[in-house]
Structure 1
Amino acid sequence: MKIGIIGLGSMGRGMAANLVQAGHEVVAWNRSGGEVAGVTMVATPAEAMQGEVLFTMLSQDETIEEVIVGPGLLEQATKGLIHVVSATISVAYAKKLVDLHKAAGLTYVSAPVLGRPDVAAAGKLNVLAAGPAEALAKVSPALEAMAGKVWDLGPEAPTANAVKIACNMMITMAIEGMAEAVVLSESEGCGREQFFEVMLGTLFGCRVYENYSGIIAKGEYQPGFKATLGLKDLRLASEVAKASGGDLPMLAAVHKRMGEAVEAGNGDKDWGVMAGYTIATAKGATAKDATGG
């Protein structure tokens, strides 16, 4: 299959490499350049839109608008192209993209992914896919090349975006929960490594707790998924909650706390840095003391 990719960041690079390994013909455009073995780099994003399928890993609504929609590239794409957006975008913008693609003779699929860059490189992402059944069937070989599992969430593309936003919201709640648990357990002499050993060995032995307890225990927040992007995703979750009329107090709390952590100078660190901020402020230290900000 001839596949285009727009966006070769830390996630897109791994996805592209796995598509090549699966035998697909892959061309790519990236704003900041770069190369991936086996991928043909093209000079413009329009050139990446001349195949059967296009994947984009552009981090937010505004970037897709700037790179693809605003310049009129949908109208320049090969007719019948299936555009798969694998980044976390808003539900409202996904609905707009469905209509724009239909008007241009294209098909839109939402397929945001769960997993960090190392998971993308290993081809083990959880792919949350939604869109017309015929389009999902056609892109299935490409999705499976980068996935540990593909989750079919039905014919309406924005459903996948809502599920991804909800999952990211839950990750931030887990991060904040671990931070607050550390504050309690350390206050009575239990080190965080020992606490996390108990936590993982009893009731909380799942991937999110395993990944982020290690980050929190070390207090090292090198970027895997930046806090600024985590804050963006919590804003998207708040927008969905407002549109649904739901009162979600835990969401409001983690949204506020992530915002505070970013404002303290931690925006380029891993979003687990929210835990360092919570622990520091609870103990009367500065966020800089805990996170190296």
Structure 2
Amino acid sequence: MKIGFIGLGHMGSAMAANLVKAGHHVTVFNRSPEKRRKLVELGAHEAARIADACRGEAVITMLADDAALSSVALADGGIIGSLPRGAIHVSMSTISVALARELTKAHAGAGQRFIAAPVFGRPEAAAAAKLFIVAAGEPAAVETCLPLFNALGQKTLPISPEPAAANLVKLSGNFLLASAIEALGEAIALVSKAGVDRRAYVELLTSTIFPAPVYATYGGLIAANRFEPAAFTAALGFKDIRLALAAAESLRVPMPLGSLLHDRFLRLLAEGGESLDWSALGGLAGRDAGDARAPG
């Protein structure tokens, strides 16, 4: 397929590279030219403007937050003003439900199609094309994009004809991940202060009652106090919890644990942890307990 790709951060650069390797005609755009050049060396085409990345059958965006996506999609010279009628905007970012609905309406008004397809997986999964993709939108549009999704992930899970549903599912998933990180941090702090080896404890958990990647990955990071370099920053984790709570408020769904996570992230950021991996959330419990093994 002839496509554009906008947003070449840790996730986006790996995803765009996999699309090039799969044989798609990929035109890339990023505010930082050096990130575009690395993809061009792999065989991608370089776009000097957003509009230049919107000449094909679809354009994929992988951007950090609502503000970044709005500036790319809704501003003058952006995606909606540049994408051909009938073409597809595939938003793979973690954004608010409200923005997903706004984009759905704006694209429909321009005769375009909009799919929300956020992903589960860290940068190493993106590089290995092992992402899980939650896709929502017009079924025919999702079907058209399956060759792209197959190049990016190990499984695509269509969830709804309403794009915003995929973003709600993604936010709910990140809420669960953050909950697991907080719970792991508290449990590790408990046993660690009593003298139990942190790494041995995580190995015990992940080889018995919690044999899941989330516990192995984040438990290992917390046990080792290894929060740099960040694969997913605490600032982005905080953003996702805020978006989950906003969606919950609009639906009148109490999320007391979500409110706790909001305040825990806020404390982490207030202490200068904005650029740490979001698993640093799990390091707070050890500090609260006065455990000398916890990061200071």
**TM-score where L is the length of structure 1:** 0.96
- Per the TM alignment, residue 67 of structure 1 is displaced from its structure 2 partner at its CA by 2.2
Give the counterpart of 1:88 among 86, 94, 100. 94
The amino acid of 1:39's aligned partner reads A
Structure 1 letter corresponding to 2:63:
L
Cα displacement string for residues 127-175 of structure 1 (whole angstroms, at most 9, x for unaligned residues): 0000001100101100111011000102110110000000000110000
Partner residue in 1 for 2:289? 282
Q: Pick from 55, 66, 86: which aligns with 1:50? A: 55
- Number of the residue aligned with 1:248: 255
- CA gap of 1:67–1:291, structure 2 versus 1, over 3 A, is farther
* Contact 1:130/1:156 (<8 A) preserved: yes
Q: Match for 1:101 among 91, 95, 107? A: 107
- Residue number in structure 2 paired with 1:64: 69
Deviation at residue 85 of structure 1 after TM alignment? 0.4
| Residue equivalent to 2:6 | 6
C-alpha distance in 2 between matches for 1:214 and 1:206: 12
Cα distance, 1:58 vs structure 2: 1.1
Structure-1 separation of matches of 2:193 and 2:171:
34
Q: Using the alignment, how far apart are the partners of 1:90 and 1:13 within structure 2?
A: 22
What is the CA distance between 1:75 and its match in structure 2?
Answer: 2.1
Other-structure match for 1:231: 238
Tell me, what secondary structure is at the counterpart of 2:70? helix
Q: Do structure 1's residue 152 and structure 2's residue 166 form an aligned pair?
A: no
Q: C-alpha distance in 2, partners of 1:12/1:291?
A: 31
Q: CA deviation at 1:72?
A: 4.5
Letter in 2 for 1:226: T
The answer on 1:128 being equivalent to 2:128 is no
What letter is aligned with 1:64?
A: L
* Residue type of the alignment partner of 2:45: T
The Cα shift of 1:290 comes to: 4.4
Distance 1:212 1:280 in 2: 17
Q: CA deviation at 1:92?
A: 0.7
Give the whole-Å Cα distance in 1 for the aligned partners of 2:200 and 2:129. 32
Give the deviation of 1:284 after TM superposition. 6.9
The alignment status of 1:212 with 2:218, answered yes or no, reads yes
- The answer on whether the counterparts of 2:193 and 2:291 sit within 8 Å (CA) in structure 1 is no
Paired residues of 2:15 and 2:129 also in contact (CA < 8 A): yes
Question: Quick check: 1:220–1:291 contact (8 Å CA) kept in 2?
Answer: no
Count of aligned pairs: 289
For 1:9 and 1:81, the matched residues in 2 are separated by: 24
> Which 5+ residue runs of structure 1 have no aligned equivalent?
none
Distance in 2 (alpha carbons) for counterparts of 1:12 and 1:256: 29
Given that residues 50 and 77 in structure 2 are in contact (C-alpha distance below 8 angstroms), is that contact kept between their aligned partners in structure 1? no
Q: Compute the displacement of 1:249 (Å).
A: 1.0
Per-residue deviation at 1:291? 4.1
Kindly report which structure 2 residues correspond to 1:183-194, keeping only aligned pairs within 5 A, or say none: 183-194=189-200
Aligned partner of 2:267 in structure 1 is 260
Counterparts of 2:190 and 2:12, CA distance in 1: 39
State whether structure 2 residue 171 is matched by structure 1 residue 165: yes
Distance 1:291 1:45, change over 3 A: farther
Deviations 1:158-204 (A, max 9, x none): 11000000000011000000010012112322111111111111111
The answer to whether the 8 A contact 1:130-1:152 is kept is yes
- Tell me, yes or no, if structure 1 residue 269 matches structure 2 residue 289: no
- What is the aligned-residue RMSD (CA, Å)? 1.3
Q: Which runs of 4+ in 1 moved over 3 A?
A: 289-292
Per-residue Cα deviation, 1:9-39 (whole angstroms, up to 9, x for no partner): 1001111111111110000000112221111
Deviates more, 1:138-147 or 1:182-191: 182-191
Give how far 1:267 is off. 0.4
Identity of aligned residues (%): 39
How far off is 1:274 after superposition? 0.8
Query: Structure 2: which amino acid aligns with 1:163?
Result: V
| Partner SS for 1:18 | helix
- Report the secondary structure of 1:266's partner residue: coil
CA deviations over 1:234-288 (Å, ceiling 9, x no partner): 0001101111111111111111101111111010010001111221122277xxx
Separation of aligned partners in 2, 1:211 and 1:18: 24
- Which residue of the partner structure matches residue 182 of structure 1? 188
Give the letter for the 2:44 counterpart: V
